Amino acid sequence: MSTTESARRVWRWFAMQEDSAADNTDLFAQLVAESPVVHFPGLWVVSRHDLVAKFSNHPGLTMVSPEFPADMREENPDFTEFFSNSMSVRAPEDHRRLRGVLAREFTGRSVERLREKISHIIDTLLAGPTAEGGFDFVSRMAVPLPSLVTAALLDLPEEDWGQVTTWSRGMLAQLGKSFPGAQPTTEPISVEGFQKLRSYVESVVRERDTPNGTDVISRLNASRRSGQLSHDEVVNMVLLLFMTGVDTVTSGLTNALLCLLTRPAEWQRVVEDPEKWAAPAFAESIRLLAPVTFGARVAAEDLSIGNIVIRKGEIVLLAFAAANLDPRRFEAPLEFRWDRTQNASMSFGHGAYFCLGAGLGSLQSELLLARLAQDGIALSQPADSLPWRSELTFNSPAVLPVRLGTGLEV
């Protein structure tokens, strides 16, 4: 395929003229190998690993705010106002300030403290499917697990976790309505639903405004008292935690399991020693099948980066999924290898907007894969017949039918 043909194919994909509801690994591999920098009118697609790394850290490229349709702004103004002012899309200086406060809650030590709670959540989620034998991994495990772990991270009462999961999925569905090609499978959160959620968070924040509190929300309140955050920023940060990274972990879990179950020799290694191999298996699996296809940035000013000139206002799409398959960075990039340098993977983004919850997402995945290796699991539908998510941002199967039990052939 010529460079021109590669560029045309990626354009068709972004324009939804080529099926986005499919495994697009071949497209990403061809893109980075043949057309690592593509320029369309007002739009750049960058996939070469070193350039994605450089662009991810460039101060002149900032996060793109979602373009909420007029009818969406009218039907749920509170939600659209919240997200438009959230940490994810704030100006760089504010983003760095807010991120600096929140990053303290996602250190390796902080994440490791949740190991026992996450294992308990996994046990609870698997109780039903274990009895049933067969189930859809996406809806029964990959969707609820990250939301429930967020509830545990925030030390919310366990009796509230079910409602929190419903709110979380509703907010993601509402946000998803602004993405090209999105077809939410969950009912978007209503005006009344978001007001109830905000009231719930306001109440929890007020209850935990004490000097001696040691939980995450109490520490965020301490940052407010020291002048690092406002009250609204504390509330919005908690609300954002119900959303941010949840879909990434859902897609990552799904992709990792699919990748391993379609590679029996690699999965067998995990089965034989889950404690040793579950974590590297997850890392290499989501390098091959990245959960997030790209991150969008906008040029805040005219920029010259190497021999690339980007005009103010132009959109730059950082193709993380393609960068993970760059043959300049990864030898035989389409092969599963255990000896990769995993810190080169861009599965959780890169640079200034790198996912703060990457460590927490990886721990969930490590524990879940280890448990599934112990219990036994196999696909109950051919991998090449699986339906995939239709939105452009996330690249993973929409469903993943599996069956549990020891001695199953994957």
The angle at the Cα of 189, spanning 185 to 192, to the nearest 5 degrees, equals 155
Burial class of residue 218 (count of CB atoms within 10 Å of its CB; 0-12, 13-18, 19+)? middle
Residue 1 has pLDDT above 50, yes or no: no
How many CB atoms within 10 Å of residue 133?
11
Percent of the chain whose pLDDT exceeds 70:
92
86-131 pLDDT tens trace: 898 888 889 999 999 999 999 999 999 999 999 999 999 998 876 6
Among 320, 317, 392, residue whose Cα is nearest residue 349? 320
Q: What's the pLDDT at 394?
A: 86
Which residues in 366-382 are b (16+ Cβ under 10 Å) and which e? Answer: bbbbbbbbeeebbbbbe
Range list of β-strands (E), 306-409: 308-310, 315-318, 377-379, 401-404
Comparing 94 with 23, the larger pLDDT belongs to 94
Among 194, 227, 193, 223, residue whose Cα is nearest residue 211? 223
Q: What's the pLDDT at 2?
A: 44
Q: What integer best gives the mean pLDDT of the chain?
A: 90
Amino acid at 122: I
Of 12-16, 149-153, 184-188, 253-257, which gets the smallest average pLDDT? 12-16
Dist. CA 40–CA 307, nearest whole Å: 16
Q: What's the pLDDT at 66?
A: 75
Q: What's the pLDDT at 205?
A: 98
Instruction: List Cβ neighbours of 113 (8 Å cut-off, separation of 6 or more).
Output: none
Q: What's the pLDDT at 57?
A: 92
Q: What's the pLDDT at 229?
A: 96
Instruction: List Cβ neighbours of 379 (8 Å cut-off, separation of 6 or more).
Output: 258, 261, 262, 400, 401, 402, 410
Amino acid at 283: A
Residue 182 has pLDDT above 60, yes or no: no
66-90 pLDDT tens trace: 778 788 888 899 999 999 888 988 8
Q: What's the pLDDT at 335?
A: 97
Residue range 318-341: mean pLDDT, rounded: 94
Confidence of residue 181 (pLDDT cuts 50, 70, 90): low
The three-state DSSP-derived secondary structure of 97-147 is: HHHHHHHHHHCHHHHHCCHHHHHHHHHHHHHHHHHHCEEEHHHHHHCHHHH
Q: What's the pLDDT at 56?
A: 94
Q: Considering the entire predicted model, what is its pTM? A: 0.93
Q: How many helices (H) and strands (E) in the chain?
A: 19, 10
The three-state DSSP-derived secondary structure of 55-76 is: HHCCCCEEECCCCCCHHHHHHC
Helix (H, G, I), strand (E, B), or coil: what is residue 245? coil
Amino acid at 72: M
Q: What's the pLDDT at 91?
A: 82
Residue 179 has pLDDT above 80, yes or no: no
Q: What's the pLDDT at 364?
A: 97
Tokens 């549990």 locate to 404
Confidence of residue 260 (pLDDT cuts 50, 70, 90): very high
Q: What's the pLDDT at 186?
A: 81
**43-46 and 315-318: which strand pairing?**
parallel
Q: What's the pLDDT at 8?
A: 76
Residue 19 has pLDDT above 70, yes or no: no
Comparing 393 with 301, the larger pLDDT belongs to 301
Length, in residues, of the chain: 410
133-172 pLDDT tens trace: 789 999 999 999 999 999 999 999 999 999 999 999 999 9
Residue 222 has pLDDT above 90, yes or no: yes
